[in-house]
Amino acid sequence: MPLSNKKRVILAKIEPIYGVAIDSTMVASDAVLCQNLTISPMEGSVVERSLVRPYFGSSGTARAETFATISFDTELVSGIAPNSTPQWDNLIKSSSFSSTIMPAIPTTTAGTGSTTGVVTLAAAANSATVQLASSMSSADGAYVGMTLRVGTGVAAQAVKIITYNGSTKTATVSPVITASQTITTAYELIITGVVIGVVSALQVAGATSVTLDSNASPADGAYIGYGLRVGGQVCGLITAYAGATKVATVAIAVTAAQTAGVTAYELQTPYAHTVSLIRLLHNSSAIDNIYAGTTITVTTGGATPEVREIVSYNGASRTAALGIPLTTVPTAASTFSISAATIYTPSSDVASTGNSSATFVVNIDGQNHVIYGARGSFSIDMTVKQFPMMKWTFTGMVGVFSASPQIIGDFTAWELPSIVNTVNTTNFNLCGFSPAISKFSFDIGNTVTHRLLIGSEAVVTSDRKPKGSITIEASTAMLNNYLTLIKSDTAGAFYIRHGTAAGDWVSISGPQVQLGAPKYAEQDALVMLDMSLDFQPLLSVTSATGNNEIRIVCK
């Protein structure tokens, strides 16, 4: 009997062991809701015999290798809640991606520039180490460069953290701490920069001014907004500063007398934010771009909370760059929270058998095709007034063919998609600008090969070259912006978010995208500009291993 092409279903599942088919473990919920399904059940190369004979005709062939390919499209949708797993999780993990669950950062004060605690290991006088509380960061190097004040009151000593061991919570500091430490010795970790000095003029107790060191800035107002601590007393913010006399006026009177050349002070740089940069807390991650792609909500005073996307993150300064500027500059009293998210990033360990692979079962009207050890590549297409799509292509080894009852897939966990338009597709930013766009496409560009050797057969991913393209409305301002960037070979960050609300959002971002190949096009009798996109890794001290050129985030 002929097979109906209308009655088809595919199932996909990650293999615990590479190249070991798991078709017998699949259930209806492993079904893939897809479009444009194409399967080539037996591909590969053949060798001709090419015999010498006294007549024309074929000499026959012998099959040298056999593999199968499968391609299909799925809708680009998130999971059913923030940081839940999307239904295409198995597919992207079989395309040389890994996932990270990023827990939410609850609402906290944006202006908190320090944290306090007590040391957890006693140390003798003149020690160069401090063991911080067990609640501190477990990331090595997390607090390097920050100021640590050990002790309290006039006996407190400010030092710089040189190294930090996240496993033991131990900081090495400079200079050494002259007083001994016990498990009750208080410390304060300060994220802001600190300048240490001694006052240069006598002041009586209760004075509202401090004369800073003679090498302080000669510019009037230079330190307004800076914090000041005098002789161990917190004196609030500097409200006025005279550069000629080095006199700083403070918000809180200094209760103890100040002695020239003796009384120590600490000048703390402001804990500043801008409409485009939010400085996170001291115990935020020290890893560059770890929060890229997540959503931050900032609330200042009684204003309506503003929801923005983090497009890049500097781990050294704990500074998050926003894709679209805030309307209000955050203050020390502002609060922020960061959404939970599932973050997908590419892997370069792609030829390893430890890298994820999948088994596929394709059932065509009761005829089963098993493809195993499969690895693939994918592209994304977001065209205005269309559903956003993920286009997948997989190569795998040929499994069994068998007659089997028609599989009834369970598609209830697949979310409904939303159309690409100005309501659902938001927070777009390309190299610092937000033009009107009509189409964005991206291809991860994996090189997937069936590799057959004596004693070995596998499908390997041996390279990737992520590319994309974008079409924008060619306004006068945007033409000037982007043609200038292309001419100078200047790369910048990319970000786009799609979905209707938290829990339904999917974002795509890249920290370093280079534009190229500008061409004019026409849409609705108006000029459009097509550009190519080259997604490149962004390397830094804290992320020197690459694998960060693209991030797909469900949140």
- What amino acid is encoded at 146 in this protein? M
- pLDDT tens digits, one per residue of 171-194: 999 889 999 999 999 888 776 667
- Element of type H or E holding 41: strand 35-43
Q: Model confidence at 97, in pLDDT bands (50, 70, 90)?
A: very high
User: Are 377 and 41 in contact, with CB atoms under 8 Å apart?
Assistant: no
Give the Å distances, CA to CA, from 306 to 301, 443, 549: 12, 32, 27
Give the number of other Cβ atoms within 10 Å of residue 236's Cβ: 13
- pLDDT tens digits, one per residue of 395-408: 999 998 888 888 88
Coil, strand, or helix at residue 477? helix
> Tokens at residue 339, please?
């959404």
**Cα(264)–Cα(231) distance, integer angstroms:** 5
Q: Which residue has the higher pLDDT, 409 or 386?
A: 386
Residue 329 DSSP label? -
**Cα(38)–Cα(312) distance, integer angstroms:** 38
3-state helix, strand, coil in the chain (%, to 5): 5, 50, 45
State yes or no: pLDDT of 274 exceeds 90.
no
Q: What is the mean pLDDT of the chain?
A: 87
State yes or no: pLDDT of 324 exceeds 80.
yes
- Element of type H or E holding 350: none
Q: Model confidence at 110, in pLDDT bands (50, 70, 90)?
A: low
Domain extents in the chain: 8-48+63-100+347-554, 113-191, 195-268, 272-338
Q: Residue 154: what pLDDT?
A: 66
Sequence-ordered strand ranges (E) for 300-366: 306-314, 319-322, 335-338, 341-346, 358-364
State yes or no: pLDDT of 319 exceeds 90.
no
Q: Mind giving me the DSSP string for 114-155? A: EEEEE-SS-B-TTEEEEE--TTS--STTTTTT-EEEESSGGG
User: Are 347 and 546 in contact, with CB atoms under 8 Å apart?
Assistant: no
State yes or no: pLDDT of 543 exceeds 60.
no
> Tokens at residue 398, please?
């040929």
**Cα(542)–Cα(311) distance, integer angstroms:** 17
Q: Residue 80: what pLDDT?
A: 67
**Cα(220)–Cα(242) distance, integer angstroms:** 5
Select from 288, 343, 344 the least CA-distant residue to 96: 344
User: Are 494 and 512 in contact, with CB atoms under 8 Å apart?
Assistant: no
Cα dihedral 282→284→289→290 (10° resolution)? 170
**Cα(40)–Cα(392) distance, integer angstroms:** 14
As beta bridge partners, residue 453 has 456
Task: Give the class (CATH, top level) of 113-191.
Answer: mainly beta
**Cα(534)–Cα(490) distance, integer angstroms:** 11
**Cα(281)–Cα(112) distance, integer angstroms:** 7
Q: Model confidence at 71, in pLDDT bands (50, 70, 90)?
A: very high
Q: Residue 279: what pLDDT?
A: 78
For residue 312, give every residue at least 6 positions away whose Cβ sits within 8 Å of its Cβ, in sequence order, or none: 288, 289, 292, 320, 321, 493, 511
- Element of type H or E holding 478: helix 476-487
Select from 299, 282, 297, 305 the least CA-distant residue to 333: 299
Average pLDDT score over residue span 464-480: 93
**Cα(448)–Cα(221) distance, integer angstroms:** 62
State yes or no: pLDDT of 88 exceeds 90.
yes
State yes or no: pLDDT of 520 exceeds 90.
yes
pTM: 0.74
- Residues above pLDDT 90, as percent of the chain: 47
Residue 85 buriedness (CB in 10 A; 0-12 / 13-18 / 19+): middle
- pLDDT tens digits, one per residue of 47-61: 998 889 999 988 888
Give the Å distances, CA to CA, from 165 to 131, 135, 307, 543: 9, 13, 35, 18
State yes or no: pLDDT of 332 exceeds 80.
no
